[in-house]
C-alpha cells in the first residue's frame, strides 16, 4: 500500500521545505560553521554513514542473495565506479540466485 | 549575463546525459511504488535532489510518518550545507529573495562544474543557474520517461527489481567509501540501524544509524582532519 495522493503531496512538500532549508541555511550560516575538528569529521562521514544505515537492514532482509549481491556491487564500484552497471549486476545476482532456489 | 547562463548550461551537457540514464532507473522504481506521474513531476521540481528523492521513494509506504520520511531525505542532503556555503560569494550581488530561489538550483553536478570553472575564469551565479536548469530538465525528462517504462513491468520480484533500491543505495554507499577510516563508523552505523530496524517503527533506523556512524567518525582521532 502507498500513501494517498494528498499524503504523498504533503510528504513531498515537507521534504522540499527541509531540503531547501538546508541549501539556504548553508548559504547563510555555512561559512560560520567550524571547518576543522569534530564538526568537519562528523559532516565528512555523515553521507556514507546514512547510506550504510539505509542499506544494511535491506541486505540482511534479502538473505543470502542479498549478501552475495552486496559483495558483487562493492566489487563492481571499486573496479569501475559505474553506479548503473553495479545496479544491474546487483539486481541480476538476486534474480539469478532466487531462480536457483536460494 | 545571459551569456554566462548559456555557458553554464552548455558545460553541463555531458553530465546531463549521465543524469538522464540515472533518472530513467529512478522513474522505473517510482512507477513500481505506484506513485503517479504528476506526483513525480511535483517531486522533481520541489525537492530537486536525486539522493533525497531516492530516499523518499525508498521509504514510500503506509505507516511511515511524513516527518520521518522528510527528515531522512533531508539528512542525506546535509552535505548541501557545505556546497551552498561555498557559493555564498557568488550570490553576494543579489538580494535575499533572489538568493533564496537561486540556491534551489544548486546540485552536486552543476556545483562541481562551477567550482572547476572558477579555477580558470571568474564565474558568477548565472553560470551556476544555467547548469542547474539543464540538470533539472535532464532529471525531469529522464524520470518521466522511466516512469512510462516502469508501469509496463509486471511481477517486479521475479526480476529482482524489489532489490533495486537496496542495490542502488549500496552502490552509492560504496562510492562514498573513504577507505579504512570508514570501517568503524560504518560498522556502528549498520549495527545501530539493524537494531533500530527491529525495535522501532518506521524509518528511525536511517537517522539513528547515520548519526551514530557520523559521531563515531567525529570522536575518532585516527584520521586526518
Q: How far is CA B185 from CA A36, A42, B40, B201, B216, in A?
A: 19, 10, 34, 23, 5
- From A45, which residue of chain B is nearest by alpha-carbon distance? B214
What is the tens place of the pLDDT at every residue in B40-87?
999 999 999 988 998 899 888 877 788 888 988 888 787 687 678 778
User: What nine digits make up the cell of B40?
Assistant: 513525480
Determine the distance in angstroms separating the CA of A66 from the nearest CA of chain B, rounded to an integer: 8
Mean pLDDT estimate for chain A: 86
In three-state secondary structure terms, A62 is coil
% pLDDT > 70, chain B: 91
Set of chain B residues whose Cβ sits within 8 Å of the Cβ of A63: none
- CA torsion angle for A63, A66, A71, A75 (degrees, to 10)? 180
pLDDT for residue B159: 66
- Helix B66-75 with B204-219: angle, nearest 10 deg: 30
User: What nine digits make up the cell of A8?
Assistant: 504523498
Q: Is the model more confident about B211 or about B126?
A: B126
- From A75, which residue of chain B is nearest by alpha-carbon distance? B174
Residue B221 has pLDDT above 50, yes or no: yes
Do the Cβ atoms of B213 and A49 come within 8 Å?
yes
- Between CA B108 and CA B195 the distance in angstroms is 32
Query: How far from chain centre, in Å, is Cα A100?
Result: 28
Average pLDDT in the B132-150 region? 94
The stretches of B47-182 forming alpha helices (DSSP H) are: 50-58, 66-75, 80-86, 88-91, 96-102, 108-118, 125-150, 164-175
| Residue B225 confidence class, pLDDT cut points 50, 70, 90 | very low
Do the Cβ atoms of B62 and A1 come within 8 Å?
yes
For chain A, percent helix, then strand, then coil, each to nearest 5? Answer: 85, 0, 15
Determine the distance in angstroms separating the CA of B118 from the nearest CA of chain A, rounded to an integer: 18
In three-state secondary structure terms, B151 is coil
pLDDT for residue A35: 64
- Comparing CA positions, the residue from A77, B182, A6 lying closest to residue A69 is A77
End-to-end CA, chain B: 39
What is the tens place of the pLDDT at every residue in A21-54?
999 998 886 556 666 788 778 877 876 887 788 8
- From B194, which residue of chain A is nearest by alpha-carbon distance? A57
pLDDT for residue A5: 84
Minimal Cβ distance to A83: which of B72, B171, B193: B171
Binding-face residues of B in 79-138 toward A, CB within 8 A: 79-88, 91, 99-100, 103-104, 106
| Residue B185 confidence class, pLDDT cut points 50, 70, 90 | very high
Set of chain A residues whose Cβ sits within 8 Å of the Cβ of B104: 20, 23
Q: Is the model more confident about B137 or about B17?
A: B137
In chain B, where are the structural domains located? 2-176, 178-225
- Between CA B76 and CA B13 the distance in angstroms is 26
What is the pTM for the complete model shown?
0.71
In chain A, where are the structural domains located? 1-33, 36-102
The contacts of residue B181 (CB under 8 Å, 6+ apart) are: B217, B220, B222, B223
Do the Cβ atoms of A53 and B175 come within 8 Å?
no
% pLDDT > 70, chain A: 90
DSSP sequence for A39-54: HHHHHHHHHHHHHHHH
CB pairs under 8 A between A and B: 291
Amino acid at each position: 500500500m502507498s500513501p494517498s495522493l494528498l499524503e504523498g503531496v504533503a510528504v513531498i512538500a515537507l521534504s522540499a521545505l527541509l531540503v531547501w532549508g538546508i541549501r539556504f541555511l548553508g548559504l547563510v550560516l555555512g561559512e560560520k560553521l567550524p571547518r576543522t575538528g569534530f564538526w568537519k569529521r562528523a559532516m565528512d562521514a555523515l553521507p556514507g554513514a546514512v547510506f550504510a544505515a539505509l542499506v544494511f537492514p535491506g541486505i540482511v532482509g534479502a538473505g543470502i542473495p542479498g549478501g552475495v549481491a552486496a559483495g558483487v556491487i562493492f566489487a563492481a564500484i571499486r573496479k569501475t565506479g559505474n553506479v548503473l552497471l553495479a545496479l544491474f549486476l546487483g539486481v541480476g545476482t538476486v534474480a539469478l540466485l532466487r531462480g536457483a532456489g536460494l | 549575463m545571459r551569456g554566462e547562463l548559456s555557458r553554464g548550461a552548455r558545460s553541463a551537457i555531458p553530465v546531463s546525459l549521465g543524469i538522464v540514464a540515472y533518472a530513467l532507473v529512478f522513474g522505473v522504481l517510482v512507477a513500481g511504488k505506484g506513485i503517479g506521474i504528476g506526483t513525480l513531476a511535483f517531486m522533481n521540481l520541489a525537492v530537486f535532489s536525486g539522493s533525497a528523492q531516492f530516499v523518499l521513494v525508498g521509504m514510500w509506504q503506509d505507516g511511515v510518518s511524513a516527518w520521518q520520511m522528510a527528515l531522512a531525505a533531508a539528512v542525506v542532503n546535509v552535505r548541501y550545507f557545505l556546497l551552498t556555503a561555498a557559493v555564498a560569494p557568488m550570490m553576494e550581488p543579489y538580494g535575499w529573495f533572489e538568493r533564496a530561489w537561486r540556491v534551489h538550483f544548486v546540485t552536486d553536478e552543476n556545483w562541481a562544474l562551477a567550482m572547476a570553472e572558477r579555477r580558470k575564469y571568474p564565474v558568477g551565479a548565472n553560470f551556476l543557474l544555467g547548469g542547474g536548469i539543464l540538470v533539472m530538465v535532464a532529471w525531469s525528462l529522464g524520470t518521466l520517461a522511466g516512469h512510462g517504462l516502469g508501469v509496463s513491468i509486471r511481477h517486479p520480484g521475479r526480476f529482482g527489481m524489489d532489490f533495486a533500491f537496496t542495490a542502488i543505495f549500496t552502490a552509492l554507499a560504496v562510492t562514498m567509501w573513504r577507505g579504512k577510516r570508514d570501517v568503524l563508523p560504518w560498522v556502528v552505523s549498520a549495527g545501530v540501524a539493524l537494531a533500530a530496524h527491529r525495535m522501532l517503527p518506521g524509518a528511525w533506523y536511517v537517522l539513528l544509524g547515520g548519526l551514530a556512524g557520523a559521531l563515531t567518525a567525529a570522536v575518532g582521532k585516527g584520521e586526518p582532519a
